[in-house]
Chains A and B, each alone.
Chain A
Amino acid sequence: MKKLAALLATFILVATSAFADTTVKVDGSTTVLPIMQKMVEAYMKANPTVKFTVSGGGSGNGIKAIIDKTTDIAMASRKMKDKEFALAKEKGVNAKEIVVAIDAIVPVVNPANKISAVTLAQLKDLYAGKTTEWKALGGEGPVVVISRDTSSGTYETWEELVMKGEKVFPGALLQASSGAVVQAVSKNKNAIGYVGVGYLDASTKGLTVDGVVGNEENASSGKYPISRDLYLYVNGEPTGEIKKFVDWALGAEGQKLVKEAGFVPLKKK
Chain B
Amino acid sequence: MAVSRKAKDSVIRIAFLVTALSSIVALGLIMIYLFIEGLPIFEHVSVIDFLFGHLWYPTSDPADFGIFPLIVASVAVTLVSSALAIPLGVMTAIYLAEIAGPRTRGFFKPVVELLAALPSVVIGFFGMVVVAPFLQEAFDLATGLNLFNAAIMLAFMSVPTICSVSEDAIYSVPAELKEASLALGATHWETIARVILPASLSGISTAIILGMSRAIGETMVVLMVAGGAAMIPTSLFSPVRPMPSSIAAEMAEAPFRGDHYYALFAIGIVLFLFTLLFNIIADHISEKHKQVGAATL
Instruction: Using CB atoms and an 8 Å cutoff, list the residues of chain A in contact with chain B.
Output: 30, 56-61, 63-65, 141-144, 149-153, 155-156, 167, 170-176, 180, 183-184, 187-188, 190-191
Contacts and interface: CB of A to CB of B under 8 A. Distances in A.
B250 A150 contact: yes
Contact of A167 (B60, B224, B229, B248): B60
Given A170-B231, A173-B229, A191-B143, 11 more contacts: A57-B256, A59-B253, A60-B256, A64-B255, A150-B60, A155-B59, A173-B227, A173-B228, A187-B129, A188-B132, A188-B133
B136 A149 contact: no
A153 B144 CA distance: 27
A253 to B, nearest CB: 29
A174 B253 contact: no
Nearest to B130: A187
Given A151-B59, A167-B57, A57 B144 contact: no
B203 interface: no
B145 interface: yes
A256 B227 CA distance: 37
Contact of B69 (A59, A63, A64, A170): A170
B249 A174 contact: yes
B133 A187 contact: yes
B254 interface: yes
- Tell which of B241, B245, B256 has the most Cβ of chain A within 10 Å: B256
Interface of B: 55-60, 69, 128-129, 132-133, 136, 142-145, 223-224, 227-231, 239, 241, 245, 248-250, 252-258, 260
B229 A174 contact: yes
A159 to B, nearest CB: 8
A173 B69 contact: no
Nearest to A180: B224
A187 B249 contact: no
B58 A173 contact: no
- Tell which of A56, A188, A190, A191 has the most Cβ of chain B within 10 Å: A188
A151 B254 CA distance: 7
A139 to B, nearest CB: 13
A60 B241 CA distance: 23
B234 to A, nearest CB: 10
B239 to A, nearest CB: 5
A187 B132 contact: yes
- Tell which of B133, B223, B228, B260 has the most Cβ of chain A within 10 Å: B228
A111 to B, nearest CB: 14
Contact of B253 (A141, A142, A153, A173): A153
A156 B60 CA distance: 9
B55 A170 contact: yes
Contacts of B253: 30, 58-61, 149, 151-153
Nearest to B261: A60
Contacts of A191: 143
B86 to A, nearest CB: 29
B87 to A, nearest CB: 30
